[in-house]
Amino acid sequence: MRSLDDYEVTHEGKITRVVMAGESGESLAFLDGNQEPETIEGGLTHEESIEYILHNSIKDAPIHVVGNRVVHGRDISGSCVITQDIEEVIEEAGTMAPLHNPYALKVIREIKTAMPDTMQVATFDTSPYVDISLENALCAIPYSYFQRHGIRKYGFHGTSHRYVANRAAQYFGQPLEKLRIVTCHMGNGTSITVWRGGKAVDTSMSFTPTAGTIMGSRCGDIDPGIILYLIEALKMPPEHVKNILNKESGLLGISGISNDVQELQEAIAHGNDNNGRGELALDLFAKSVRKYIVQYVYQELDGDVDSIVFTAGIGENAEDLRERRIVQRLPSDLKQRLEHPCRTVSETTEVCPKPCFLVVHTDEELMIAQDAFVTSNLR
């Protein structure tokens, strides 16, 4: 397989503030590395965004294969060529990823309309976790719900975790199969994955992306009885409870200020952290991350870890939170084993064999491009 460094970006297009069909707004188009976006009055839908990028960035450049990020692929264990059967799986999995899969399918079908003869490949965020052991995958409810309804741990952020695990392996100059690594994708959504023998063996998110660590606005792991209490005793409709757990909890819910770490840090610095709740929110978030790191290092790796890798918005940029609240508060023997503070891996970083904490910039688009390249050549 070609190295991650063997790929070059020749065209680039990104549309933000995408609108739903029938709505209006202002979409922003970032094309070919331009920092200043073009404002598109009225807004662009997902389908219109694809057409806009094709005509304004890629233009006449030949396209041999299109890679698509799909959040949920149920039991599909790797990237694959998109067929009608795969489209049906993506659609069915939309009930478990309603904010992601339906829109991914819209994009896939729009590309099929615009370029009917071009192969498309799907990269699934869930695929690295399909083969984790039942001991790690099963939820402790009646087994029949796993058999009949597929209720199990699926895991998410797999594309990002794969990229940074492979980048870390390049840094150590060894194949991933020989390393024992914990990867921490820390953004508004946060998840922790442990790698052994070149494979993900466990991850913090579960049946949905709500589980695991505390996140920007998601609650993470909580007592399921709280949900029943909100519905039965407080008479909240299930939809309201879902909104609370996904959009009003986490850093936002605890602090009462923001779901954004930088905004919380600024509020704390200016004495506006809501009677200490901003500080409390960051401490609870960091503790929940440390909890999974420690669990994975000692339960899955027997303490024999080569690196703990941080990535995504918080992992890469929130240095004080990462170093002071997470790394410095890990067990002393773990800090003695891994060199710290974190080393930042870049394209020019030389190979280093020493076990250490790392910061790696994630690049899911590059991982998807590599998957599309490899999968299309295997066809």
Catalytic residue numbers?
Answer: 125
SS (H, E, C) 299-314: HHCCCCCCEEEEEHHH
Q: Residue 326 burial (CB < 10 Å; 0-12/13-18/19+)?
A: buried
- Identify which of 223, 152, 165, 156 has the alpha carbon closest to the alpha carbon of residue 189: 156
What is the phi/psi pair of residue 136, to 5°? -95, -20
CA–CA separation, 127 and 378 (whole Å): 18
**Token pair in block for residue 42:** 């009225």
Q: Residue 173 burial (CB < 10 Å; 0-12/13-18/19+)?
A: exposed
Q: Residue 255 burial (CB < 10 Å; 0-12/13-18/19+)?
A: buried
CA–CA separation, 308 and 312 (whole Å): 14
Q: Which residues contact 126 (CB under 8 A, 6 or more apart)?
A: 71, 72, 73, 74, 76, 154, 155, 156, 158
- Identify which of 175, 197, 172, 204 has the alpha carbon closest to the alpha carbon of residue 306: 172
